[in-house]
A and B are shown apart, each in its own frame.
Chain A
């Protein structure tokens, strides 16, 4: 992110309440991640120590230090979805996209090498009646079974 766009974002948040998280949210949305250089620049501009900004970014699951792929797939892992087979769905999803379930920092956010898909998990969408559910770019899919996953992925440009 260039300095000018960052200045514009900072200017939007004049009041101290909610300022830092607001700015970081805006950066995450525009850049699809929080770049290291932007974070360092921001720390100088708003005079908040870099360690504290980094602490925030690593704490909240909304922020990501690696670029989020073109399509964001959120798999619900709430209790009803879990019982109805969300674990199997996630496994099939990982196999289809060729990503592993390893997590170093406790955040579950995995992106395919071609940067097309990112898989994350969420707790509950509140759509338990349709369990198990998953969301792709804001579209909700209910009653998902492992056989349906390739079909859903193909809609977003995935090839077998």
Chain B
């Protein structure tokens, strides 16, 4: 089964003693997911380079009869790769890690559900309870939000603060940060849904990032606020020339309406209903 759109060589790999076809050079975790082999993972995000922060996707790589524990998201597929995903060693590691995560992020439903799926419902470790935690006691410090903000959005509005057990993620000086574009990419990539943001009227409030507030643009057609102003400005610089000027500032819904009317009913935009 070749993956459409890729010209890479297909190779044979062994997962839990069964043989599978995989594309050379692809990330092993993705191969496993495609073949419905269950590997728990939290910090893998396809928009970013694999990082191996959460350690949950640990698998055993067999080379010359010896096994070595490696995160599945950092393994690149090559011919003859041999992997074991549920050895006693892996299960022990995984269960301990779930216990640690239950203590680190005691409020996270995602972690609780995932741990329960693997039979871990209790933790022997002291639960980390922070009062008025802007990340609701759900952050596991995987760093995805920090990386997406820096590498993809180019804003670097948030970063790690302090170190060791005191590490948190927030804006510098815990202040409203003008570097934040309000794109909410951080909230989207967060594996434990720890980041809170809310659209209130014509602004978006990033509750988790020291209540940083950004202005939203309003659709001239329906009057709904739909995207952060700074993000919109950036997006508009990337448009291909020749795009219809009229629909440039519309919200996605009104754009669709515009095209529907134009293409199907052949009604000009000026004759629109109230």
Contact = CB atoms under 8 A, between A and B. Distances in A.
A55 B173 contact: no
Interface centre among A49, A59, A104, A107 (most CB of B within 10 A): A49
B174 to A, nearest CB: 10
A54 B173 contact: yes
Interface string B155-191: 1111111111110000111000101000000000000
A107 B165 CA distance: 11
B155 to A, nearest CB: 8
B172 A50 contact: yes
B163 A52 contact: no
Given A50-B172, A106-B166, A58 B177 contact: no
Interface residues of A, number: 15
A51 B162 contact: no
A36 interface: yes
A58 B177 CA distance: 17
B186 to A, nearest CB: 12
Interface residues of B, number: 18
Given A49-B179, A50-B179, A36 B173 contact: yes
Interface centre among B156, B158, B172, B173 (most CB of A within 10 A): B172
A55 B156 CA distance: 11
A6 interface: no
A49 B165 contact: no
Contacts of B159: 49, 51-52, 54-55
Main SS of chain A's interface residues?
helix
Interface in A32-52: 36, 39, 49-52
A51 B177 contact: yes
A1 B62 CA distance: 58
A36 B175 CA distance: 11
B156 A59 contact: no
Contact of B163 (A36, A59, A104): A59
A127 interface: no
B157 A51 contact: yes
Given A49-B156, A50-B177, A58-B162, 13 more contacts: A36-B173, A49-B150, A49-B155, A49-B179, A50-B179, A51-B158, A51-B179, A52-B156, A52-B159, A54-B159, A55-B159, A105-B162, A106-B164
Interface of A: 36, 39, 49-55, 58-59, 104-107
7 contacts: A49-B150, A50-B179, A51-B177, A54-B173, A58-B162, A106-B166, A107-B162
For the complex of A and B, list the 4 residue pairs with the smallest distance between their C-beta atoms, beginning with the closest: A106-B166, A49-B156, A54-B172, A51-B159
